[in-house]
Amino acid sequence: MSEVVAERTQVAILGAGPAGLLLSHLLHQEGIDSVVVEARDQEYVQARVRAGVVEHGAADILRDAGVGEGLDRDGIPHEGIELRFDGESHRIPMSDLTGRHITVYGQQKVVRDLTERRLADGGKIRFACGPAQIHDVDGDEPSVTYTVDGRRHRIVADFVAGCDGAHGSGRTALGATPVEKVYPFAWLGILARAAPRIEELVYANHERGFALYSMRSAEVSRLYLQVPASDRLEDWPDERIWSELAVRFSLGGEPWEPTRGEIFERSIAPLHSYVGEPLQRGRLFLAGDAAHIVPPTGAKGMNLAIRDVSILAPALAAQLRHGYEHDLRSYSARTLDHVWRVEYFSWWMTTMLHRFGEDAFNRRVQIAQLRSVVGSRAHSTALAEAYVG
Ligand code: RFL
Ligand code: PHB
């Protein structure tokens, strides 16, 4: 290995996803220097299709940070969602029940907005570094290393933030005790060039499995199907996807077809709940998917990532600027309380809406549960409050 290129910053951040980019931006606003190290190249990071729902509180965090312009211009506000089961449609009027709403705005756009803003502000984002490593988090001089074109780079920092997702180095360096649950199924997700047939998201519980109808714009639909975790994309040719969606969205015993269009993106993602406790060790702090994973049924992953860093950034700034340690020391405890409530909501939505094998008792209880939710203002409000955040 050739020479080491050394650099110094206050906070070294791994990962240029929503968590890492927003953390870097918030720190900049507090006058704190950071460097973001990202394994993949910029094009790849900005093309990665993921979340679509920004909850009320997360939208406020982005706006307050001065990065909500795109969201307010191009995001689609939604005031309700539909629950579909037993061939019937039921609306949960979220805004009437809570006075708050969600915004459909793709995670790619959040990442693009944050990246553009960081670069415009002279922020340091190192793309295409390959997987970076974290060192000496228990000492006073933690560092991050990575190798590009055979040259080894080292960033020495006061603190390291692991915002590098579920498969990054943050988790390994922290060595937390995982508390987790693996679900026996996955989501097949597609993006299609098709005008959505719906105005609000439809969450469907069907005896053949869960389906979700979402969107990205007036021209692009986002749809998901519950599939066995062992399924591969080859098992799902276009015709099978569309006809299965029509069956799962059935109304009054008749198949109900989403508008069809060219499928231009598809993926299969297993469902998983994970929390690594605590979220900090020495000078290392985790945020976003590095710290926790929720199944996507509650649409919470990106929102949690945004919330984590809105707590972590001022805590780091208070320590670095004023030597005030309390908020940083209590970061994990303060964050985990909310994380576990979101884990609970995401698990609850997942168990209520998915098919779990042939269990007839489970199936009957699910329908009773859904009837209770749509039939009671108190139950609907509980769902709506958790959903809008
Ligand atoms: P990210 O976005 O995964 O970013 C981590 C970044 O770290 C890089 N990286 C490394 N960099 C340097 N060194 C290393 N050793 C590295 N290892 C990895 C990676 O390349 C990457 O760029 O994590 P972050 O920032 O914590 O953000 C979390 C969100 O991405 C995630 O929670 C959401 O996408 C989850 N999610 C949803 N969240 C919502 O809030 N609303 C939704 O509607 C929603 N829908 C979803 C979802 C996730 C889904 N999938 C694919 C699991 C729907 C689906 C299907
Ligand atoms: C999405 O639009 O990608 C989406 C919406 C709601 C969810 C998950 C994903 O619960």
3-state secondary structure the chain: CCCEEEEEEEEEEECCCHHHHHHHHHHHHCCCCEEEECCCCHHHHHHCCCCCEECHHHHHHHHHCCCCHHHHHHCEEECCEEEEECCEEEEECHHHHHCCCEEECCHHHHHHHHHHHHHHCCCEEECCCCCCEEECCCCCCCEEEEEECCEEEEEEEEEEEECCCCCCHHHHHHCCEEEEEEEEEEEEEEEEECCCCCCCCEEEEECCEEEEEEECCCCEEEEEEEEECCCCHHHCCHHHHHHHHHHHCCECCECCCCCCCEEEEEEEEEEEEEEEECCEECCEEECHHHCEECCHHHCCHHHHHHHHHHHHHHHHHHHHHHCCCHHHHCHHHHHHHHHHHHHHHHHHHHHHHCCCCCCHHHHHHHHHHHHHHHHCHHHHHHHHHHHHC
User: Could you tell me the distance, in angstroms and rounded to a whole number, from the CA of residue 365 to the centre of ligand 1?
Assistant: 33
- pLDDT for the residue numbered 332: 97
192 lines ligand 2 (CB under 6 A): no
User: Could you tell me the distance, in angstroms and rounded to a whole number, from the CA of residue 195 to the centre of ligand 1?
Assistant: 26
- pLDDT for the residue numbered 3: 63
* 74: exposed, middle or buried (Cβ count in 10 Å: 0-12, 13-18, 19+): middle
Residue with the bigger pLDDT between 46 and 302: it is: 302
Q: Which residues contact 70 (CB under 8 A, 6 or more apart)?
A: 105, 109, 112, 113
Is 387 part of the annotated catalytic residue set? yes
Q: Is-contact 355 210, C-beta < 8 A?
A: yes
Instruction: Name the residue of 94, 212, 213, 266 whose CB sits within 8 Å of the most ligand 2 atoms, as the mutation to test its pocket.
Output: 212
- pLDDT for the residue numbered 50: 85
Average pLDDT over residues 273-292: 97
222 lines ligand 2 (CB under 6 A): yes
296 lines ligand 1 (CB under 6 A): yes
Ligand nearest, relative to CA of residue 14: 1
Q: What percent of the chain has pLDDT over 70?
A: 99
Average pLDDT over residues 215-234: 96
37 lines ligand 1 (CB under 6 A): yes
Q: What percent of the chain has pLDDT over 90?
A: 94
Ligand nearest, relative to CA of residue 55: 1
Residue 117 has pLDDT above 60, yes or no: yes
Is 203 part of the annotated catalytic residue set? yes
- pLDDT for the residue numbered 205: 97
Instruction: Name the residue of 78, 115, 289 whose CB sits within 8 Å of the most ligand 1 atoms, as the mutation to test its pocket.
Output: 289
Residue 12 has pLDDT above 80, yes or no: yes
Residue 185 has pLDDT above 90, yes or no: yes
- Per-residue model confidence as pLDDT tens digits over 369-380: 999 999 999 999
The span from the CA of 348 to the CA of 296, in Å, is: 12
Among protein residues, the one with the nearest Cα to ligand 2's atom 2 is 52
Residue 381 has pLDDT above 80, yes or no: yes
Residue 111 has pLDDT above 70, yes or no: yes
Is 270 part of the annotated catalytic residue set? no
Look at strands 124-126 and 102-104 and give their pairing. unpaired
pTM: 0.96
With cut-offs at 50, 70 and 90, classify the pLDDT of residue 4: confident
Instruction: Name the residue of 302, 309, 335 whose CB sits within 8 Å of the most ligand 1 atoms, as the mutation to test its pocket.
Output: 302
User: What is the CB-side half-sphere exposure of residue 278 using CA atoms within 13 A?
Assistant: 14
Q: Which of 38-52, 53-67, 110-124, 192-206 has the lowest mean pLDDT?
A: 38-52
From the candidates 146, 206, 296, 331, give the one annotated as an active-site residue. Answer: 296
Q: Is-contact 45 164, C-beta < 8 A?
A: no
Q: Which of 40-54, 147-161, 325-339 has the lowest mean pLDDT?
A: 40-54
308 lines ligand 1 (CB under 6 A): no
Residue 2 has pLDDT above 80, yes or no: no
Question: Which domains does the chain possess?
Answer: 4-52+106-176+278-347 (3.50.50.60), 183-271+357-388 (3.30.9.10)
- pLDDT for the residue numbered 358: 82
From the candidates 203, 213, 224, 331, give the one annotated as an active-site residue. Answer: 203
- pLDDT for the residue numbered 1: 55
Is 224 part of the annotated catalytic residue set? no
Q: Is-contact 211 249, C-beta < 8 A?
A: yes
299 lines ligand 1 (CB under 6 A): yes
Average pLDDT over residues 64-90: 97
